[in-house]
Chains A and B, each alone.
Chain A
């Protein structure tokens, strides 16, 4: 790639056409000379034509090249070459892959430290006239000068977030779009195959990747703790193992620091482990594999709520509700008692749905108000709608309902909606449902999910334990409406109910509403991080057109290679000199001829 400091001078290249024009002009019909010895001329031309024609073309070539070389030299040519010290002002986005897979230890050092060395070497080639960005797995492009970004690289810690390399390329391209300078992209990565997605680089792309094969790896892909709360008798967890190793590994499952249980698993398999009982409360279940080169995915944890099942009072006259509760009692998920009242407003926790007699609604609303419940029943509606998809309810048909209206300005405590309006809300210890749990009001009693719905509603929701959510670092998770805080060990984040929360680190999080724990957020690494297999160079070139792949050791030198400039005047002046000498030589030969 050749650029010019003074491209307007290139207009002088038209002068290179002068010898050609002269040549063409000289080819006009010449004057006729009567000459008897034409036969000698014909003999001469026949015997010497090739040599003289060659001389002629060489002369033309030398003269044309001489002019072209001089003009191009005057235009200040710059040639893009790797390995040369200088380059034109460039906007460079360095994408440094510090995803969990980069923490693997290869060749005695962590892969991330190798990647950081390459990134540092690349940034050290920057000049003050360059625009520099650093993009890591957290997805935030950081702009800075060379020194600032090198400091950033040096202090960079492994991220728990997966880095989608295709998305990173797209993001880097949009970053370059904001800078007028010619851009260049540099991806420094372990090139994990599961992280690669197709993208069209917006600028010349250099992919710096290790050449040695990644070590085989196994990791905990998932830790399923089943329906909760667990009874104090214990429960079962299902551990899924992912990775690209063929070996079998022991899986250790523990509840808090109690003695664990072990099982054997290999990549792609799931093992079920029975966990002994524990006292009521929030317990952390941990699944752990033997340590290998990638430690980040060897352990995964989740909160488990251990509690006695809800003791519920229900009206045996509610046919469908009573049948479902009987099933739950039989399976040990429910007990008869007065801790929670189902169908009416009781003294303790209550799940309230509209009375069958519309005349009783007013009294019920007044009773709710006296309890300090922030919601009341509004106008009835016979318009059939569907509940909006939610973790609590799923999609169910609603034939009749009362509008649930908030006494204040907010909508805090909405658990589910139907036709966009609140259908299930929680306020204090009371859950209000917009419809009775009868087929004339909603299709829910006849649905297969009715019993699990009641289980979740009575054991968790009504008692204030709203949410058991799984997540991965960096991916947004919808928090319950009442959530005010998310806590991970000693770290905590203030949140607002209903907001999206992006966990930054793996681990079992608690979701709090004030001082009450209302759920858990179990964050684990993206299971795709456990497969360390690297994408092949050919496939990379197919997915990222024009990508240039270089090994880690050459990463620094490859930076700014698309914009590295060598002064092209020297070679051009040499070329002009050679052409001039060639022309002189040929012309003098011709002049010496009689």
Chain B
């Protein structure tokens, strides 16, 4: 309870259970609440001031604002220096969202948001944070084809455009990430941030190849691996026929027999993704759909801003 309460006694939505948060209202309202909570927490953190960065000192010239005078140097050297800050660069970010059929799945509808709903809210929150920092933010959605492309923009009202697309986003069929990631190149002329939100149930080699390509273009790349808790640990009836909603591939087994080995396989997959991303200087986070949004936002926005 203490973690979710703001100093002023307001509830911090970024720390609540995502399903509970989603029940509080529409996408817009909830997302704003989450971001408010997130930013409140962020200001209290040691890393505040991420948007303005100190660059160098220079001699004071008449007309300079006194608030930038460095009083400590004046005290030591009896000279007037002003602190000069690097001009804040507007970041250009593109969020690539997987809207394949597998993303529409949840292992427990009563307790956990479907992966796509979770991604929808996470992206909305992330883009709001970025836009508030006056970073241009775009969105590409895909399933087996590229479904929608919204170029990055920092204009007022852009967030609502993103929200509309996210709200209307429905799960498609298969997953083909590579074309969507290639489309990013067209949206980001200069170095920017690419956030790839997917359950990564796709062709790993092709996706990695596209991500490496983006990284080579100088973009910061962040992979948010959305995973339902029921995908991390195998459970179910005594024996079941497990069917892939996209490929219709099926396998019959007893979850109890295979749970341990399956858990090891999942960990192996996550480790493989993490290792491959690290080797290519790509950020990677596994995001369980039960994880509060604030936690994920903090991880996502802890990236260096200069490339």
Contact = CB atoms under 8 A, between A and B. Distances in A.
Report whether chain A binds chain B. yes
A332 interface: no
Nearest to A589: B260
B262 A36 contact: no
Given A26-B239, A31-B240, A590-B256, A40 B262 contact: yes
Measured as residues with beta carbon below 8 angstroms from the partner, the interface class of chain A is 20 to 34
A35 interface: yes
Interface in A35-55: 35-45, 47-48, 52, 55
B159 interface: no
A408 interface: no
A47 B265 contact: yes
A34 interface: yes
B177 to A, nearest CB: 15
B253 A41 contact: yes
Given A26-B239, A41-B234, A41-B242, A32 B250 contact: yes
B105 to A, nearest CB: 5
Among A29, A36, A39, A55: residue with most chain B CB under 10 A:
A36
A36 B102 CA distance: 5
Q: How big is chain B's contact interface, by range?
A: 35 or more
A29 B239 CA distance: 9
A39 B241 CA distance: 13
B218 interface: no
A33 B260 contact: no
B20 interface: no
B244 interface: yes
Interface of B: 101-102, 105, 199, 201, 228, 231, 233-234, 236-247, 249-253, 256-266, 269
A593 B105 contact: no
B242 A38 contact: yes
A30 interface: yes
A34 B256 CA distance: 17
- The 6 nearest A-B residue pairs measured at CB: A36-B102, A593-B260, A38-B244, A35-B242, A30-B239, A48-B261
Nearest to A40: B265
8 contacts: A30-B241, A30-B252, A33-B236, A33-B237, A33-B241, A41-B262, A45-B253, A593-B257
B240 A33 contact: yes
A489 interface: no
A354 to B, nearest CB: 112
A30 B265 contact: no
A32 B259 contact: no
A43 B265 CA distance: 7
A39 B259 CA distance: 14
A41 B233 CA distance: 11
Given A35-B243, A41-B265, A590-B257, 6 more contacts: A30-B238, A35-B245, A38-B243, A44-B258, A44-B264, A47-B261
A34 to B, nearest CB: 5
B189 to A, nearest CB: 35
Given A30-B237, A30-B240, A32-B241, A37 B256 contact: no
A34 B103 CA distance: 12
A29 B241 contact: yes
Contacts of A107: none
A52 B257 contact: yes
Contacts of A37: 201, 231, 266
A32 B243 contact: yes
A39 B243 contact: no
Contacts of A29: 241
A43 B262 CA distance: 8
A62 to B, nearest CB: 16
Nearest to A42: B251
A594 interface: yes
A56 B246 CA distance: 31
Contact of B244 (A36, A48, A55): A36
Nearest to A593: B260
A39 to B, nearest CB: 7
Contacts, number: 98
Contacts of B260: 593-594
B241 to A, nearest CB: 5
Interface string A552-594: 0000000000000000000000000000000000000010011
Contacts of A36: 101-102, 105, 199, 201, 228, 231, 244-246
B256 A39 contact: no
B243 A44 contact: no
Nearest to A594: B259
A39 B244 CA distance: 8
Nearest to A55: B257
Contacts of B231: 35-37, 40
A37 B236 CA distance: 14
B240 A32 contact: yes
Nearest to B245: A34
B262 A31 contact: no
A31 B237 contact: yes
A288 to B, nearest CB: 91
A593 B254 CA distance: 12
Nearest to A56: B257
Nearest to A26: B239
B248 to A, nearest CB: 9
Contacts of B234: 41
B15 to A, nearest CB: 28
Nearest to A592: B260
Contacts of A38: 242-244, 247, 249-251
A47 B237 CA distance: 22
A84 B243 CA distance: 62
A39 B242 contact: no
Interface in A1-53: 26, 29-45, 47-48, 52
Nearest to A33: B240
A44 B268 CA distance: 10
A29 B241 CA distance: 8
B246 A48 contact: no
Contacts of B201: 36-37, 39
Contacts of A45: 251, 253, 258
Given A44-B261, A47-B265, A52-B257, A594 B240 contact: no
A55 B261 CA distance: 14
Contacts of A34: 105, 243, 245
A52 B254 CA distance: 11
A36 B238 CA distance: 19
Contacts of B257: 52, 55-56, 590, 593
B26 to A, nearest CB: 27
B50 to A, nearest CB: 36
Contacts of A590: 256-257
Contact of A44 (B245, B246, B247, B265): B265
A593 B256 contact: yes
A40 B251 CA distance: 11
Nearest to A53: B257
Nearest to B202: A39
Contacts of A39: 201, 244, 249
A594 B233 contact: yes
Contacts of B256: 590, 593
Contacts of B240: 30-33
B250 to A, nearest CB: 7
Contacts of B259: 593-594
